Amino acid sequence: MKNVLLGRSAAELEDWAIAQGQKSFRGRQIHDWLYNKGVKSLSEITALPKQWRSELEAQTFGVGRLKLVHQSVAIDATTKLLLATDDGETIETVGIPTDQRLTVCVSSQVGCPMACRFCATGKSGFQRSLAIHEIVDQVLSIREAMDRRPSHIVFMGMGEPLLNSEAVLDTIGCLNTDLGIGQRRITVSTVGVPQTLPELAELAMERLGRAQFTLAVSLHAPNQQLREELIPTAHAYPYESLLNDCRHYLAVTGRRVSFEYILLGELNDKPEHAAELADQVGGFQSHVNLIAYNPIEEEEFKRPTSQRIETFRRVLERRGVAVSLRASRGLDQNAACGQLRRQHQLD
C-alpha cells in the first residue's frame, strides 16, 4: 500500500488533508484516531465524512496497519506477536512488562543480513527493510495486545537498524512526537556496520535536532578473532575501528554508548574474557549489558551457568566497568529474536 497515513505527523496530516480539499482540522482528527485510538482502517474513523472515507479508500489510501498472525504469552507475561505485512512477509515484536514499565522490542527489517551465529533471525535470510509505518505498528500492536501503554522502545528485534537508519530515525521522531515516548527511553542496537556510526550521529542531529536515544553496540567478544567467529560480518569491521567510531559518536552526541555482550557457555564467558573486555572499554564513557544466551535450534551454543555469569560480572566491576545483567524473559515461548518467525516458516 503506497498511500499509508500511519507514520505521518500532525502537521503532515494537516497539509495532506488540505491537499485533499478538506479543512486542516481533518488532519488533526485523523492523527488522533491513528495514534490515540489505534484504528486499523479509514472506515473506523467515524469523525470523517462517510463519502470522503469511501473516496480515500477508492484511491487506495489506508491506515497501514499490519495483520496479526500469531500471539504467544509466556509465564512471565512477555508477549510475542508475529505480524504480516502487505507483501506477505512476517515480522516479530515483543512486549516485555514489569510493574513499572512496558518495553517493546521492535524489528527494523524482515530477516537480517548480518547472520550472527547465535541469532535465529539470520537463519531465515534477509528480505527487505521495514517502512516507518511497519515499525510504528509494532508498538501499537503490543499496546493493543497487552492493553497497556508502552514506556520504552528497543530496536533489538529482527534486522540491523543501521542498515535502515533513515526509517529508524524517522520512526524515533514519530514515537517521540506522536506517541509521546521520550528519546531517552528508546534504544537502538547495532552489531556494527562499517562507516555507519558517524553517519548515524550526524543524521540524528539533522533529523531529530538532538540524539538522546541510547546507542547499544553488540560486541559479544573481547577481541577481533573471537568476534569474527560469532559474527561473520565482523571481518570487515576491525575491533579498534568499531570502538573509535563509538568514541566519535559519543563526541558528536554527548551520549554514552552501551555495549551488549551475550554470554555463551564456555566460549566467551571466562574470567580472562571479562578482563580483556574491561581493557577494551576501560576509560570509555560506556556501560556493559550482559545477556545470558537464549538457546536456538541449529547451533550448539550453551547457556552459561549462574556461577560463570556472576564471576564475569564481578571481574568487570572490579576493573571499574559499569555493568548490568539483563534478565531473561519469555524463555518458555521462544522469545529470542527470530524464533517465532522461523517456527512459523517451518510449519
End-to-end CA distance of the chain: 28
Same domain, 314 and 272: yes
Same domain, 158 and 234: yes
CATH at 331: 3.20.20.70
User: Does residue 130 carry a pLDDT above 90?
Assistant: yes
Beta-bridged to residue 317, according to DSSP, are: none
Active site residue 89: no
CATH at 19: 1.10.150.530
pLDDT digits (tens, 9 = 90+) for 268-294: 999 999 999 999 998 888 899 999 998
User: Does residue 245 carry a pLDDT above 60?
Assistant: yes
Residue 123's pLDDT is 79
The pTM assigned to this predicted structure is: 0.93
Same domain, 315 and 219: yes
Residue 315's pLDDT is 98
Quick check: helix, strand or coil at residue 322? coil
Give the mean pLDDT of the chain.
Answer: 93
Q: Which of 47, 62, 77 is the last residue of a domain?
A: 62
- Helix 24-35, helix 165-178: angle, nearest 10: 100
Domain count for the chain, please give it.
Answer: 2
Q: Please give the average per-residue pLDDT across 27-52, as a whole number.
A: 97
Residue 119's pLDDT is 86
Residue 110, phi-psi category: left (phi > 0), alpha (psi -120 to 50), beta (remainder): beta
How far is it, in rounded angstroms, from Cα 45 to Cα 51? 12
User: Does residue 328 carry a pLDDT above 50?
Assistant: yes
User: Do residues 33 and 44 lie in contact, with contact meaning Cβ atoms separated by under 8 Å?
Assistant: yes
Tell me the residue range of the domain where 83 lies.
Answer: 67-346
Q: Please give the average per-residue pLDDT across 11-32, as a whole number.
A: 98
Q: Which of 62, 87, 106 is the last residue of a domain?
A: 62
Residue 344's pLDDT is 52
Instruction: Give the active site residue among 44, 89, 92, 260.
Output: 92
pLDDT digits (tens, 9 = 90+) for 64-90: 999 999 999 999 999 999 999 999 999
User: Do residues 111 and 127 lie in contact, with contact meaning Cβ atoms separated by under 8 Å?
Assistant: yes
Residue 124's pLDDT is 77
pLDDT digits (tens, 9 = 90+) for 154-170: 999 999 999 999 999 99
Q: How many CA atoms lie within 13 A of 206 on its CB side?
A: 8
Same domain, 201 and 132: yes
Instruction: Give the active site residue among 112, 116, 174, 337.
Output: 337
Same domain, 171 and 198: yes
Residue recorded with cell 577481533: 224
Q: Please give the average per-residue pLDDT across 295-318, as a whole number.
A: 91
Active site residue 14: no
H or E stretch covering 210: none
Same domain, 121 and 202: yes
